[in-house]
Amino acid sequence: MGLESKYFKHDFYYDNARVERFIEIIKSEDSSPRRQAAFKNVVFKMMKDVVKKNIRNYLNLLVNGTSIDKDEIPTTDELVADCYLIFDKCLTKYKLGCGYNFYFYFNKSMSRCFYRAWTKEMARDNSSVEIGDALETVNERFHTSKEHASNSMSLLLSSFDFSELELRVIKSRLAGQKTSEFLQANTDITHNQYSKALKIIKERIQSFRDLGEI
């Protein structure tokens, strides 16, 4: 059974007064871990509609607002797990007896987290354009003739002192290769190494921009 089915198979009516009492039990030092976990699960199940709404909106943004590969789109169960982590932090920070509504508080926290995740994906999605524009701007300075044009990009890249991995990533992005395609063709590189290299590339290009070199 997946997480979505585990938590949201049935409807649980949300009542803010009851949730306040449940959160008080969850936060109480007198409550056993088992009792706390049981009440946490009940409160999370009450969040069914708002969790599913945020997940649906996030997936729509990824599919329609980025060029993310299908195999990189998180599953619903993975996103439910992310929502539960956000939920857990909200329980810790939520102030009881102040007239707040936990449902709206949790919804706002999820919306912010998913928005940040989407903007990060957008930044990664646009990285090939940023890299290409920046490198081509400097590359024009090396184009002294058509004869030397084919070697100018290699000369340019060497001037940035990129590592061998970073050069491979740059050439891949400039060629329009997707992340999954690069990793499939370069089995010696992990997704984490690829992401770190891409981050270094962008930071180094930005530093050249700040210095007026680009």
> Is the per-residue pLDDT at 209 higher than 80?
no
How far CA 142 is from CA of 39, 154, 155, 161, in Å, comes to 66, 10, 8, 17
CA angle 193, 196, 200 (to 5 degrees): 135
The widest CA-to-CA distance across the chain, in whole angstroms, is: 79
CA torsion 74-78-81-86 (nearest 10°) is -10
| pLDDT tens digits, one per residue of 59-78 | 887 777 666 777 778 899 99
> Is the per-residue pLDDT at 166 higher than 90?
no
Amino acid making up residue 197:
A
Contact, 101 vs 46, CB < 8 A? Answer: no
| pLDDT tens digits, one per residue of 94-134 | 999 888 999 999 999 999 888 888 777 766 665 554 555 55
| pLDDT tens digits, one per residue of 10-54 | 889 999 999 999 999 999 989 899 999 999 999 999 999 999 999
Q: Name the residue ranges covered by the structural domains of the chain.
A: 3-120, 127-210
| pLDDT tens digits, one per residue of 6-22 | 888 888 999 999 999 99
> Is the per-residue pLDDT at 162 higher than 70?
yes
* pLDDT the model gives residue 197: 84
